[in-house]
Amino acid sequence: MTRSLWGLLLVVPLTALGQGKDAKGAAPATPAAVEAPRATTAPGINWEGQVLRATGSGAPDLKAANPAQARLGAERAAKLDAFRNLLEQAKGIQVSAGRTVGDEWARDEVKGRVEGAIRGYKVVAKRYFSDSGVELDVEVPLAALSAALIPAQDAAIVLNAEGAKKYTGLVVDARGLGLKPVLAPRLVDAAGKALYAATVLTDEARGATGVAAWYESLDAARKAALVGDKPLVVKAAQLQGSDLVLNAEGARALTEANTRFLAEGRVAIVTQ
């Protein structure tokens, strides 16, 4: 950014102090007089970490009464810019095959819920510039978006709560199927019966964990904290839209196991 009048005003007093009779050398620059480092985390969707990230920038108001007011105005502008950037990216996210968040925008209640979820973003980094400009890195959990779009629990899928808790999570090996990450994947058997979907999540998991995390490495997925230390690993045999059809062995293992962990969204899907 180009240094403005405020940036110069912040630097000059410090230079004058360095010229006093007791000074031993030039005074060091304050953080406000040094250009901040650029963002180290790229904006966009992190399917593995299950967050949507964006950056917002705000320029100072040169008509502000003082540097503090100029910077506050810049920070407000940066927050608004970050919200707009998150919203624009969110519209392009796939909910399921052929269906994006933007496709749901026509319904006012959906639009309001999605905007509300995005307004709850978290500021993860701030950068201040010598001209009193501000840049913010923000993120919002994908779970917040899926909760705004996907219905709550229904009775269509019944999880097995019987027997010992043998597994701590589920890893679905979908390598080679060409599957792209979506907010609301489903697992089905060969007959099309749903075995897992967003509708089985508890209210807490809907807002915190989401439906599944996505990995490009089977080893990374098996070691993910999300699925615990003893995940059940199953193989997806084919793809139907964005539904993953489990092979016979995987479907049987999933229906026979105590699958209460599914209600907590402890699912990782491997795509490559």
Question: Residues 25-81: pLDDT tens digits?
Answer: 333 333 343 344 454 567 899 999 999 999 999 999 888 888 889 899 999 999 999
**118 and 177 belong to one structural domain:** no
187-228 tens-digit pLDDT: 999 999 999 999 899 888 888 888 999 999 999 999 999 999
Domain-terminating residue out of 102, 117, 149? 149
Share of the chain above pLDDT 70, in %: 83
Amino acid found at 206: R
Q: Report the SS3 class of residue 126.
A: strand
User: Same domain, yes or no, for 140 and 187?
Assistant: no
pLDDT at position 149: 87
Number of domains within the chain: 2
Q: Confidence class of residue 152 from pLDDT cuts 50, 70 and 90?
A: low
What are φ and ψ of residue 144, in 5° steps?
A: -65, -35
pTM: 0.80
Is the pLDDT reported for residue 110 higher than 70?
Answer: yes
Among the candidates 149, 182, 201, a domain finishes at 149
pLDDT given at position 157 = 86
Instruction: For residue 229, tell me if it sits in a domain.
Output: yes
Residue 162 inside a domain? The answer is no
Residue 3 has pLDDT above 70, yes or no: no
Boundary-marking domain end, from 149, 181, 210:
149
Round to the nearest angstrom and report the end-to-end CA distance of the chain.
41
Angle CA(39)–CA(41)–CA(43) in degrees, nearest 5?
A: 95
Say yes or no: 15 and 139 in one domain. Answer: yes
- Orientation of helix 67-91 relative to helix 5-17, angle to 10°: 130
Residue 258's alpha-carbon distances to 160, 226, 253, 254, 255, in angstroms, are 5, 17, 10, 8, 8
Residue 7 pLDDT more than 50? no
Domain match, 203 and 132 both: no
Please check whether residue 140 is in contact with residue 120, taking contact to mean a CB–CB distance below 8 angstroms.
yes
For the segment 255-271, the average pLDDT, to the nearest whole number, is 96
Same domain for 18 and 141?
yes
Judgement on whether residues 260 and 228 belong to the same structural domain of the protein: yes
**Would 99 be classed as within a structural domain?**
yes
pLDDT score of 6: 44
Which of 126-130, 156-160, 220-224, 251-255 shows the lowest mean pLDDT across its residues?
156-160
What would the mean pLDDT of 112-140 be, rounded to a whole number?
94
As a whole number of angstroms, the distance between CA 224 and CA 150 comes to 25
Q: Is 156 part of a structural domain of the chain?
A: no
Yes or no: say if 161 and 258 are a contact pair by the CB < 8 Å rule. yes
Q: pLDDT per residue over 163-194, tens digit each? A: 899 999 999 999 999 999 999 999 999 999 99
The answer to whether residues 18 and 128 belong to one domain is: yes
List the domain range (segments joined by +) for residue 263. Answer: 169-270
Does one domain contain both 174 and 141? no
Domain-embedded: residue 154: no
